[in-house]
Amino acid sequence: MAPTFSGQVILVTGSTRGIGRAIAETLVERGATVAVHGRDLDQVKKVCCAIHPDRTIPVAADLSDPETAGHLVESAFRPWGRLDGLVNNAGAGRAVAFRGLKLEDWRATHQLNLESVFVACRGAYPLMRRARSGSIVNIASLAAHGPGRMMGADYAASKAGLISLTRSFALEAARFGIRCNAVSPGMVETDMTEGLTEENIRNLAIPLKRLAKPTDVAKVVAFLLSEEASYLTGQVLHVDGGQFMYG
């Protein structure tokens, strides 16, 4: 049976589309109340109505300013007075050659992909520590484990930093009953991969011979958040169709 989250409140950043929305939908289907996040509040409210108006909390913030992540956590906590889970999914990147990468672009990528996660974890930590429980899942990337062939060095480095942050946080928070893990997706069917042809996909040499669906990632995230993963912390699960086997 799939794990259930009845009575739990979980914040999922970047959850109006793609992987984040699939995570939010999966958690709501399994009984959670989910704080759905995006930059535009009107769009967030539309998504909440589409998912489940009674078991979603619309929250908006532009995480290109990392400090807003702390306010986001508080907005998710306040309505129910609890925060059982946090999924740091919001992030962005683009394919750019190292020689064309500017310092301001490097910093902007790290602010969104890494610094905002640090601030969100910092905000969730005391809330979960008081409850002596909680689970955090950070969405990294296959790019974190190598040279980031499909993305720029800024994206790969920010996601590698996210994995290091995951393990450091997991080590400190474990004694308070808080778990922190990461998921590293490979290529996923989202708007970022819409332009890929069948030939492009074959050339990726994915052993399972297809891109991941957003729900493939969402189900693994739900597992890590659940009691079924109660003895897992500081781990990174690859949802990549077997690509990581190649190193």
Active-site positions read 155
Query: Which residues sit opposite 88 in a β-bridge?
Result: 138
Q: Which residues contact 119 (CB under 8 A, 6 or more apart)?
A: 66, 67, 68, 69, 70
Nearest-angstrom CA–CA distance, 84 and 179: 11
Q: With beta carbons less than 8 A apart as the criterion, state whether 144 and 163 touch.
A: yes
Alpha helix (H) residue ranges in 103-227: 103-110, 116-131, 153-173, 198-203, 214-225
| CA 79/CA 71 separation, integer angstroms | 13
Cα angle: 37, vertex 4, 244; to 5 degrees: 70
Alpha carbon distance 129, 175 (integer Å)? 9
CA atoms of 247 and 94, how far apart (whole Å): 22
Judging by DSSP bridges, how do beta strands 134-139 and 56-60 pair with one another? Answer: unpaired
